[in-house]
Amino acid sequence: MLKHLKAALLATGVFAFLFGVQSAGAKVLHVPSDYPTLMAALTHVDYGDSVVAAPGKYAENVTLVQGVVVTCSEPAKCIIDGMRRGPAVYAVAGSEISNFTITNGIDGILCENASALHIHHNWIVDNEGAGISAFISLPQIDNNVIYGNRWSGILIWGAKSLDSRIENNVVLRNGYNGLTLRGPTRIIVRNNVFMDNREYGIYSDPDAAQSQVVYNDIFDNVLSFNPYTKVNTSNIPSDPLFVDAGLSSPNFLPGRHSPLVRRGYEQQDIGLLTQEEGSPSSLSSPQSSSPLSDSGQTQ
């Protein structure tokens, strides 16, 4: 797999942040060594701080904090279990979350009239509603696996944005649509895989028809898209030929002969860009051997 400049820059930025290149006075809070839970840590943060979780299962509903990064020390080995008591993660303005498996919430991540900054490098699986729901404001959503949620993989309602996008995600086997665009939504959707969703790959309201849907792979959904979704010839309907699409050890990176390689915007791959997010070995934890089953539910 070719290395990508964007992925390298993102990784460099994340590691620089975590290892001390931060604003003056910012601190890193560790869970569970400093605080026993994510929410306990988040009650002691200031703007510019970060919360770094060790691998494990965190059975809690997490409300993020403005200007604070919440991440895992080893990508995707941390599980946030929402216990079906509300959204597993509630995003607020200027918040960021990465490198978690987010499961068992009413929604996986809810952004409710709040301009969250960035949702990236997560596995968002088996939530009762949507994997990600964003109302009015759109965070940057990239390099996530959004799998087996009971409703849509991603729901966007009334959002307009030119500087944040939905890109380089794998959205598959959700119970309704891969992506649902409701209300007066005008956003950019590019370089994603929408596959094997139970209704549409992408569904758009008439008011959302001006959203740009470009350079995606829309494949093997019950219906690819509805008439209000403007899909141009840059989009492809191809089997992505993932490294391993099996549920015992899935790897949703494009394989060597995949039609996704260098077929996206600016010759990026369509779908995931980074090995950390493509490899599911990180989905194992001391509490859960695998979050995926044949029905897309947690074990």
Tens of pLDDT, residues 70-111: 999 887 789 999 999 999 999 999 999 999 999 999 999 999
Question: In the predicted model, what is the mean pLDDT of residues 265-282?
Answer: 75
Q: What is the mean pLDDT of the chain?
A: 87
Q: Per-residue b/e over 131-156, b at no fewer than 16 CB within 10 Å? A: bbbbbbbbbbbbbbbbbbbbbbbbbb
Q: Does a structural domain hold residue 56?
A: yes
Q: Does a structural domain hold residue 217?
A: yes
Question: In the predicted model, what is the mean pLDDT of residues 214-228?
Answer: 98
pLDDT tens sequence across 108-128: 999 998 889 999 999 999 999
Q: How many domains does the chain have?
A: 1
Q: Does a structural domain hold residue 296?
A: no
CA–CA dist 116, 136 (Å, integer): 11
Please state the φ and ψ torsions of residue 211, each to the nearest 5 degrees: -65, 145
Question: In the predicted model, what is the mean pLDDT of residues 232-253?
Answer: 93
Q: How confident is the model at residue 183 (pLDDT cuts 50, 70, 90)?
A: very high
Q: Which two tokens stand for residue 244?
A: 């391993």
Q: Which two tokens stand for residue 236?
A: 């492809």
Q: Does a structural domain hold residue 184?
A: yes
Tally of helices (H runs) and strands (E runs) in the chain: 3, 27
Is the distance from CB of 199 to CB of 224 less than 8 angstroms? no
Q: How confident is the model at residue 48 (pLDDT cuts 50, 70, 90)?
A: very high
Query: Residue 23 is part of which domain span?
Result: 5-283
Q: Does a structural domain hold residue 289?
A: no
pLDDT at 288: 38
Q: Does a structural domain hold residue 298?
A: no
**Is pLDDT at 52 greater than 50 in this prediction?**
yes
Question: In the predicted model, what is the mean pLDDT of residues 1-8?
Answer: 35
Q: Considering the chain, what percentage of its residues have pLDDT values greater than 70?
A: 84
Is the distance from CB of 21 to CB of 290 less than 8 angstroms? no
Region of poorest pLDDT, from 31-40, 259-268, 269-278, 285-294:
285-294
Q: Does a structural domain hold residue 288?
A: no
pLDDT at 74: 80
State which H helix or E strand residue 26 sits in.
none
Q: In what order do the strands lie in the sheet with 62-63?
A: 62-63, 89-91, 109-112, 132-135, 154-157, 179-182, 200-204, 223-225
pLDDT at 181: 98
Q: Which residues pair with 195 in a beta bridge?
A: 172, 219
Q: Does a structural domain hold residue 231?
A: yes
Closest CA to 78 of 150, 116, 30: 30
Is the distance from CB of 271 to CB of 253 less than 8 angstroms? yes
